[in-house]
Amino acid sequence: GAVVSQHPSWVICKSGTSVKIECRSLDFQATTMFWYRQFPKQSLMLMATSNEGSKATYEQGVEKDKFLINHASLTLSTLTVTSAHPEDSSFYICSGGGYGSNEQFFGPGTRLTVL
Amino acid sequence: GNSVTQMEGPVTLSEEAFLTINCTYTATGYPSLFWYVQYPGEGLQLLLKATKADDKGSNKGFEATYRKETTSFHLEKGSVQVSDSAVYFCALSRSTDSWGKLQFGAGTQVVVTP
C-alpha cells in the first residue's frame, strides 16, 4: 500500500511554545489529508480536513487558531500546535488517500508531550 | 448523525480461538465500511473493507460482511494467533463526505495469549 510518513515521531516541548508536525505522502499525491487526535486507549477523533491549496475545514469544537493546518503541496500537510499546553499532549495522526478514493493510508503518528 | 459502535474490550483469547468483534453503524445513504488494525507502537493499517451491501471483505484470515438489514459489519477470524494482538477499529465513510473522511468506532483491544 501507499506510504504516509510523519515527522517527528515524538516531541517534548515546554508550555507556551509552538510545535509543527509534518505529514507526507511518499508515493502518491493527496489533495486531501486528515488530521486526527487519539487519546490513550481511545478512538481517533477527527480534527480537520486539510485541503491542498485552500483553507482547512475544522470539526466542531476544534480551535482553528490553535491548530494551524497548512497543505502547501500535494504531498505535504503540516499541523502546528500553537502556544501548546499540557492538555494538548496527545497522539496526532494524519492520513491521506488518492484522489477519488475513500481508502486512507495512515501515518505512524506523532506523540506530543507538553510539559 | 453518523456513528459507529463497537463492542468494548479488551477481548482476551487463547491462541487458535475464534474471534468476533461486533460493529454496528448509523448512517444516511450507503456508506463504505472498513476495519483498521493498530498494532502496538504502529499506525493504523487497513485490514479489510466493503463498499456495498452483502459485500464480504477478507484479509489475513479475517472476514466481515456488510449487512445493511442489520446495519452491521462484524469482524471474524476462525483461529487467532498471538500476532493478532492489536486494537481493531471499525469505521465508515460516506460518499457525500470528503473523499476519505472516516468516522471511527471506539476501538476494541484484542489480546491473544499463547
pLDDT in tens, chain A (115 residues): 688 999 999 999 999 999 999 999 998 888 889 999 988 777 889 999 988 888 899 999 999 999 999 998 889 999 999 999 999 999 999 998 866 666 788 999 999 999 9
Q: How far apart, in whole angstroms, are the C-alpha atoms of residue A7 and residue A95? A: 13
Q: How confident is the model at residue B95 (pLDDT cuts 50, 70, 90)?
A: low
- How far does A104 lie from chain B, in Å, by closest CA? 6
Q: Residue B95 and residue A1: Cβ atoms within 8 Å? A: no
pLDDT tens, position by position, B33-75 = 999 999 987 889 999 999 999 999 999 999 999 999 999 999 9
Sheet holding B75-77, edge to edge: B19-21, B75-77, B62-65, B56-59
Question: Is residue A93 within 8 angstroms of chain B, CB to CB?
Answer: yes
Closest residue on chain A to B105 (Cα): A43
Average pLDDT, chain B: 92
From residue A99, alpha-carbon distances to A3, A56, A73, B32, B113 in Å are 15, 17, 14, 16, 41
Give the number of beta-carbon pairs within 8 Å between A and B. 60
DSSP annotation of A22 reads E
Percent of chain B residues past pLDDT 70, beyond the cut? 96
Interface test with B, best of A45, A102, A110, A111 (most B CBs within 10 A): A102
Q: Phi/psi zone of residue B77: left (φ > 0), alpha (ψ -120 to 50 degrees), beta?
A: beta
The share of chain B scoring above pLDDT 90, in percent, equals 75
Residues of B near A (Cβ–Cβ under 8 Å) read 32, 36, 42-46, 49, 89, 93, 95, 98-107, 109
Q: Please name which of B111, B33, B6 lies closest in space to residue A42, comparing C-alpha atoms.
A: B6
pLDDT score for A40: 77
In chain A, which among 30-59 make CB contacts under 8 A with chain B?
32, 34, 41-44, 46, 49, 57
Please state, as a whole number, how many other Cβ atoms lie within 10 Å of the Cβ of residue A11: 17
Find the CB nearest A106 among B44, B98, B103: B44
Give the closest residue to A78 by CA, choosing from A5, A29, A3: A5
B45 vs chain A: nearest CA distance in angstroms?
Answer: 7
pLDDT at residue A84, as a whole number: 96
Shortest alpha-carbon distance between residue A81 and chain B (Å): 21
- For residue A46, the model assigns a pLDDT of 92
- Other Cβ atoms closer than 10 A to B83: 10
C-alpha cell at B18: 475464534
Q: From A78, A91, A7, select the one nearest A45 (Cα to Cα).
A: A91
pLDDT value at position B101? 84
- Counts of helices then strands in chain A (DSSP H, E): 0, 11
